[in-house]
Amino acid sequence: MKICIAGAGAIGCTLAARLAETGTTVNVLARGRTLEQLRANGIQLSDLDGEHHVQVNASDDAAELGPQDLILVCTKAPALADVLQQIQPMLQPETMVIPVVNGVPWWYFRGIESRFANENIRAIDPDGLLDQLVPAQHLIGAVVFITATRTAPGQVRSGNPHLMIMGEINHQLTERLEQVRQLIESAGIEARATDNIRDQIWTKIIANLTSNPLSVVTGATLEQLYSDPHLQPLVRRMLDETLLTAASHGARVRFDPQTIMEMGTGMGAVKTSMLQDYEAGAPLELANIGHAVVEMAERTGIDMPTTRQVLALTGFLTERQQAAARAQRSAEL
């Protein structure tokens, strides 16, 4: 199987390293300093199973890598359109594409019966561009529970177990789904196939939405967000709003609210990925993790006042940071 990891951030490097250790040739689509590091020194991953140092076939040219059987798109949501454009030379009729992206997926209303069937999520894909770039027949949905930090280009540290849940977007259990599950499992990553990937997506959305934006506002770790007496009531209100929105779209979340709060606390003194992006001055995944959920709540007549307020505060801080960066660049010119 020809496999490509499109995006060499923390999650992409983690998956590439574990897959490469199985003896599989792993292609990685990367650029800039990361591409230079991958070509010179490969990927270095430190996780619960030890130290992993692997070589991968890295390139910034999808045409050079050629057609692929499986593409794992491991990018932040703001870069998704650009990456999907880049992978076009690698797509062939049977290519499977697994977007490993936080938040509501652009394809959410594809492949299932719903009164919103085939509608676009305006906050993510208002013009249907993502749907045109990767049509539904290529897609396998995925939810990845991997907590990883990129310490340098091509170098990643992870201190929690790896879990990847996958499912066809039409909720069928297929041979290709099982083939990919076995591949991921062979890499030492717990891999599950599901006949309802949307339930799993909402579980991850709940975890992200109740922690990521508020972490930017407060600078708090996961443990603090879910346990500190000043923050816990706010997180719980956001949790209740998101659970209600998930239920209004037919999703079943297997964990009760108290268990979710305890699981969040148990993640320890870990910074969310959004807080890490904010501190680095990188674009935030507010559209997929936050605004898309509010949009889905509006579709079913649900209000999310606390979530809206936290998203507004996060947006304010982000815009202020961007304005300061622009002013600094102007002063340097």
DSSP run (H or E) holding 261? helix 257-266
175 exposure class (CB count in 10 Å sphere: 0-12, 13-18, 19+): exposed
Q: Which two tokens stand for residue 17?
A: 């390293």
Cβ within 8 Å of residue 218, ≥6 positions away: 224, 225, 231
Cβ within 8 Å of residue 326, ≥6 positions away: none
DSSP 153-168: TTEEEE-S--EEEEEE
Q: Give the whole-angstrom CA distance, residue 99 versus residue 109.
A: 15
Q: Which two tokens stand for residue 258?
A: 């108290």
Q: Which two tokens stand for residue 180?
A: 């990919």
Cβ within 8 Å of residue 5, ≥6 positions away: 12, 13, 15, 16, 19, 26, 27, 28, 29, 56, 72, 74
Q: Annotated catalytic sites, by residue?
A: 204
Beta bridge partners of 166: 142, 193
Cβ within 8 Å of residue 130, ≥6 positions away: 80, 81, 84, 106, 107, 124
DSSP 46-59: EETTEEEEE--EEE
Cβ within 8 Å of residue 171, ≥6 positions away: 111, 112, 195, 196, 197, 198
Q: Give the whole-angstrom CA distance, residue 14 versus residue 283.
A: 21
Compute the Cα dihedral for 108, 242, 234, 310 and give only its sign: positive
